[in-house]
């Protein structure tokens, strides 16, 4: 049994008896908030679902997605996760499961079907869950993982988007207040407020609104600019943990390869310490809500084994840094089609075989931002355009979000928003004519029984699941404070 609802006590998270609890685990992945690289479709979830509905019709559409949500996480997943010694799963969800844009503030009870089920499965294995609204009305950031096809974070410009988000969290709080296996609520993932001050102002609104209904659960609050910045954060809210995201470019195909040198290890710790400065100064708990490399594919990389060994070593070094400061962490992610997950679909599964040719096309066109491979075809188009933009408008590269630079802005707006949307129908056509039996088999490809395990990743996580030794204080040096952002964005 859980020993009461977790709460914040100074720099610790504690149970009802005052025992320190350190939460370590993973984000479940693109389950109730689907993502293109996690399951294979192009563009954004709502575009993908609309295209699938058009091809399948309502009956087959509802059947397929219900079975997919069911098979993605079952009791076998929960048991496996617990067997690694991990104790927390972060569950991202899209607000569209619970409310329609054309019927706002009317709760969709059906949206809770699988969320309730997975929370209970996790509780049965003594796994805490953190509920994460990964997509909010209007989009809190301009990226694909907030299901934002406009490339504009309109959440910040329209109060009604903010009011609807608070309303939905009030409904969620009514449902789950008193549940001791829910470690708390993550009101929004990776906010990107160009003016910075509106994020802490929103937290000042949503915290008391939730507290009126559920006074006990912890709020896990992301920093601004993909959980990396803390401008205008000038106070600590009660019973809240503040969250950073700590991806390293050394874990991605276009980044420098990790060699375990003193320089590389120092860089990892310095990057973490800069992002944690706000929590350090205010002596609060620290939660790293996302981090982790992507992994090489033997189909595509001749030296995949060597690359992946380097990335397991990178991950282990990051985990050692987190052990040093005894922080809470949640790696990204638990399950996908073979890019980053602890568990992933078999390349010979019905799902992977159906979509593999399309995946090859997506990769060549760089339609996915996450784990993208170099593409000569794209470079021949993109490089001259970026050069021209930087020449005629030298300040374009400084457009918020600052870490992106011109190339990332163009890729996002043109390739991964405009172009990717045009392929939604082509992907959906792969499912045309499929019977109910076929659709069940495709959905079942994500069942634990059919999936493979990424052993190097799981071994590293398991070995760092428990905290050992004494906590060390984070001391910021002048070099740490002067370090600029060293990673683009997370999830």
Q: How many CB atoms lie within 10 A of CB 419?
A: 16
Residues 136-163 as b or e (16 or more Cβ within 10 Å = b): bbbbbbbbbbbbbbebebebbeeeebbe
Catalytic: 262? no
CA terminus-to-terminus distance, the chain: 32
Residues 189-202 as b or e (16 or more Cβ within 10 Å = b): bbbbbbebebbbeb
Q: What is the rounded CA–CA span in Å between residue 192 and residue 408?
A: 15
Residues 295-304 as b or e (16 or more Cβ within 10 Å = b): bbbeeeeeee
Rounded alpha-carbon distances, angstroms, from residue 200 to 68, 235, 325: 37, 9, 25
Catalytic: 190? yes
Q: What is the rounded CA–CA span in Å between residue 288 and residue 271?
A: 12
Q: What is the rounded CA–CA span in Å between residue 423 and residue 428?
A: 9
The owner of tokens 């706002």 is 104
CA atoms within 13 A on the CB side of 259: 5
Show the tokens assigned to 121: 């499965």
Question: Which position among 35, 45, 47, 290 bears the catalytic label?
Answer: 290
Question: Which position among 125, 190, 229, 488 bears the catalytic label?
Answer: 190
Active site residues: 190, 290
């Amino acid at each position: 049994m859980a020993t009461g609802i977790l709460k914040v006590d100074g720099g610790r998270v504690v149970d009802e008896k005052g025992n320190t609890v350190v939460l370590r685990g993973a984000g479940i992945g693109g389950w109730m908030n689907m993502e293109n690289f996690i399951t294979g479709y192009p563009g954004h979830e709502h575009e993908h679902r609309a295209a699938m509905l058009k091809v399948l019709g309502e009956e087959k559409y509802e059947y397929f997605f219900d079975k997919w949500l069911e098979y993605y996480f079952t009791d076998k997943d929960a048991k496996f996760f617990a067997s690694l010694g991990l104790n927390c799963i972060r569950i991202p969800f899209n607000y569209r499961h619970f409310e329609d844009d054309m019927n706002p503030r009317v709760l969709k009870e059906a949206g809770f079907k699988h969320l309730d089920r997975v929370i209970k499965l996790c509780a049965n294995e003594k796994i805490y869950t953190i509920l994460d609204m990964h997509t909010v009305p209007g989009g809190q950031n301009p990226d694909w993982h907030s299901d934002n096809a406009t490339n504009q974070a309109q959440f910040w410009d329209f109060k009604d988007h903010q009011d609807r988000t608070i309303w939905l969290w009030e409904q969620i709080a009514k449902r789950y207040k008193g549940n001791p296996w829910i470690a708390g609520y993550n009101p929004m993932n990776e906010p990107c407020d160009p003016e910075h001050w509106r994020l802490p102002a929103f937290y000042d609104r949503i915290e008391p609104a939730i507290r009126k209904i559920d006074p006990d659960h912890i709020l896990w609050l992301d920093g601004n600019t993909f959980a990396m910045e803390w401008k205008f954060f000038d106070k600590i809210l009660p019973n809240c943990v503040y969250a950073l995201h700590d991806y390293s470019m050394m874990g991605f195909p276009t980044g420098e390869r990790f060699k375990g040198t003193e320089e590389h290890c120092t860089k990892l710790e310095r990057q973490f310490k800069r992002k944690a400065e706000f929590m350090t100064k205010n002596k609060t708990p620290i939660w790293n809500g996302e981090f982790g490399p992507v992994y090489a594919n033997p189909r595509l990389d001749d030296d995949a084994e060597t690359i992946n060994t380097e990335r397991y070593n990178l991950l282990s070094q990051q985990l050692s840094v987190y052990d040093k400061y005894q922080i809470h962490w949640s790696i990204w992610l638990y399950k996908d089609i073979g890019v980053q997950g602890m568990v992933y679909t078999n390349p010979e599964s019905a799902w992977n075989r159906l979509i593999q040719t399309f995946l090859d096309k997506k990769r060549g066109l760089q339609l996915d931002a996450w784990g993208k491979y170099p593409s000569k075809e794209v470079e021949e188009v993109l490089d001259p355009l970026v050069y021209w933009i930087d020449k005629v408008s030298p300040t374009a590269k400084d457009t918020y979000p600052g870490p992106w630079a011109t190339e990332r802005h163009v890729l996002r707006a043109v390739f991964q928003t405009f172009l990717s949307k045009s392929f939604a129908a082509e992907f959906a056509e792969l499912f045309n004519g499929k019977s109910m039996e076929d659709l069940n088999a495709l959905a079942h490809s994500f069942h634990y029984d059919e999936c493979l395990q990424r052993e190097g990743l799981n071994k590293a996580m398991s070995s760092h699941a428990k905290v050992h030794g004494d906590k060390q204080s984070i001391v910021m040096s002048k070099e740490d404070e002067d370090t600029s952002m060293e990673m683009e964005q997370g999830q």
